[in-house]
Each structure stands twice: as C-alpha cells, then as structure tokens.
Amino acid sequence: MLDELEDLKKRYASLLTSLSDPGIASDPHKLRTVSKERSDLEPIVSKYEEYLHLKKELRDSRELLNDPNTEAELRDLADQECKGLEDRLEAVEEGLKYLLLPKDPNDEKNVFLEIRAGAGGDEASLFAQDLFRMYTRFAETVGWRFEVMSSSYSPVGGLKEIIVNIKGKRVFSRLKYESGVHRVQRVPQTEASGRIHTSTVTVAVLPEADEVDIRLDPKDLRIEAFGASGPGGQSVNRNYTAIRITHRPSGMVVSCQDEKSQHRNKERALRVLRSRLLDIVQSEQQQEIADNRKSQVGTGKRSEKIRTYNFPQSRVTDHRLNLSLHKLEAVLDGDLEDFLDALTVHNQTEMIGRVSSGLEN
C-alpha cells in the first residue's frame, strides 16, 4: 500500500507539471480532466506527506530516546514527544485509510430503479406497489427527482413491473445496496382464513449510462412500434406509440409505452437499454473480484434475499447486517436512512480492514 501511495505522489507531481503545459492549458477538455484528477489526488498526497513527516519525527525521537548518551531530562522530553507523535500518526493513518477507500465511479450517477413482482401472484404485485411508494417517498425527503419510465399493472391494481429514473445528488451511492430480493410476510386482504403469506419482489438499481459509456450501433437494434395497453386513455391505446427495442447481440428487450409520443418512448427505452448493458459490462468486470472475495454486505444480485418486511411483528430485517428494526410503517413511508447508513458504514469498515492490512504490510 505504501508503494501505491508513492505512485500516487509521483502521479500528482506529474499532473502539476502537466497543468503548466500550453498544449493542455489551451484544451478545455484536457485541462478539465487533468484538474479534476489533481484535485482528487491532492488530499491523499497531502495526508501521505504528513504521514511521512510524522514517521521521520518519530524515528528521530526514538533514536534520541534510545541513545545511552542522552541526558535524563532530554530523555523524558523525547519520551513525551514519542507518545504525542504516536497518537498523531495513528490519527493520520486512520485518515489515510478513508482516503484510500476505492472510489465507485458510479456513485455520482443517477439511477434506473426497476421493481418487479416475484413469487406470490397478486400479493407480490401489491407489495411491489408498496416498495415503489417507499422509494418515491424517500426520494421526496432528500430532494431527488423521479420519473416513471415504464410500468405494468396487475388486475388487482398492484405493479407487475415499474422502471423509474431518479435524479439527484449521489443517488447511486445511496441506493446501490437496495438491489436484491425483498420479502414480505403478511396476511393478504383476500385471505379469509388469516394465514400469513410470503411473497417476494426483486429490486434492481442500475447507474444511468451516458452515451459515452455505452455506444449503441443502430445495426444492432430492432425497433418496433405497437399499440400501448393498459391505463392511458384512447389517445394512447389507439395509436402505435409504444416502442419495443431489441438489442440483437445480447437478446435484451426493452419496452416503453407510458408516453403518448413515440419519440419520447423510444428515447426512454434507449436510456434504459444503455443502463442495462452498462450493468452487464460492469458486473462481468467485477465478477473476478467477487469470486475471490465476496463482500460481507452482499453482492447485490437480484437472486439474493436482502430484506424481510414482517407485518405481524411490524419488523424489518436486513439479512446482510442481521439488523432488525420494529418500525415497518415508518420504513414503508420512506424512512430508509437507518438501513442505508448502516450498509454504507458496514461496507466502509470492511474496506478499511483491507486497507489497514496493506499499510501494515
């Protein structure tokens, strides 16, 4: 890890030199890229230089302390100075650990939130509706904007599937641990005998891909228009405004029909398609890491059961943390902060452990 810090220090010095290069200074794009990287590295390099300075001071003080020719009074001062430097060095090391945590390049991105009813039939669709309300209420409390991209309803009024675009500050950073299977245990309204049923809903949180992230070749796309179905009125259902896009290389199909404009539905479908393809690419890149070291927080795969909402006990349990809170009504009303904060801290603690091992080695 110290070798990595040395490399970052050299890279920082190289960036400072680059900023004085007329070729870079005259190119706004290059200047912005170099300036951002320099700005990102500056706090790490500054903290590392403080770390090196304290290590040198501590070595010098220990040499003075261990020198048999050092007078008693000076040795006492050296001993006090060593203790103070050790405390300061420990604090700086902790700061370095946080600064060295791997940065998720998607943390600043907006997201597509996909909610789908799983096992449980109509009851699963009703719970999908509950989760949609939970996330939209949370988005409202933190000032995010959300837009329904596509939706499909069950006969009882629940959601078979809904895709929502959420925009705001660090949306993916906050919601990325919500991907997985959400399980509900409750007595359905249609259950006359009062038996508790278990149903599931899958949630996927995909970072929104920019066009530069995923370039779509028109030759790879089959785009079809068809008549929309479901709610929307005659103007939606009568015309061929719905769009279905098939990505031939992957076989992935995306449909959008909520807008009355064919152009708007096509634009929405392309945005969803890009984000799903980006998710596939990034999942493949991370697979080797996941095989070697599975995160304690969980992989976030849709097949992984992450949370249970138990209505009889008014309890919500996050299985990755073994954390249960008896505040189900508040959680379903958008009070997710306790779980999101705990998941973030848990993940950071795990990563800091690995950074600590690197520093010790």
Q: Which two tokens stand for residue 132?
A: 């949609």
For all residues of the chain together, what is the average pLDDT? 84
Q: Quick one: which of 171, 181, 89, 198 has its CA closest to 131?
A: 181
Is residue 107 within 8 A of residue 173, CB to CB? The reply is yes
Q: What percent of the chain has pLDDT over 90?
A: 41
Res 74 pLDDT > 50? yes
Q: Which two tokens stand for residue 351?
A: 């990563």
How far, CA to CA in Å, does 334 sit from each of 142, 151, 226? 10, 21, 36
* pTM value > 0.85: no
Is residue 191 within 8 A of residue 317, CB to CB? The reply is no
**β-pair partners for 114:** 163, 204
Q: Quick one: which of 106, 111, 104 has its CA closest to 272?
A: 111
Q: Between 282 and 237, whose confidence is greater?
A: 282
H helices of 176-322, in order, are: 234-238, 262-292
What is the DSSP annotation of 70-120? Answer: S-HHHHHHHHHHHHHHHHHHHHHHHHHHHHTSPPPTTTTS-EEEEEEE-TT
Confidence of residue 69 (pLDDT cuts 50, 70, 90): confident
Using alpha carbons only, what angle is made at residue 10 by residues 43 and 31, rounded to the nearest 5 degrees?
Answer: 70
pLDDT in tens, 14-38: 999 999 888 888 888 888 889 988 9
Measured between alpha carbons, how far is 283 from 292 in angstroms, rounded to an integer? Answer: 14
Is residue 208 within 8 A of residue 275, CB to CB? The reply is yes
**Mean pLDDT, to the nearest integer, of 5-14?**
91
Q: Which two tokens stand for residue 125?
A: 């669709």
Give the CA radius of gyration of the chain. Answer: 27
Res 294 pLDDT > 50? no
Q: Which two tokens stand for residue 221?
A: 């796309």
Half-sphere exposure of 263 (CA within 13 A, CB side): 0
Is residue 37 within 8 A of residue 17, CB to CB? The reply is no
Q: Which two tokens stand for residue 75?
A: 């040795």
- Give residues with Cβ within 8 angstroms of 141, minimum separation 6: 334
Confidence of residue 123 (pLDDT cuts 50, 70, 90): very high
Confidence of residue 212 (pLDDT cuts 50, 70, 90): low
Confidence of residue 236 (pLDDT cuts 50, 70, 90): very low
Q: Quick one: which of 230, 220, 227, 229 has its CA closest to 243?
A: 227
Res 11 pLDDT > 70? yes
Confidence of residue 306 (pLDDT cuts 50, 70, 90): very high
Res 235 pLDDT > 60? no
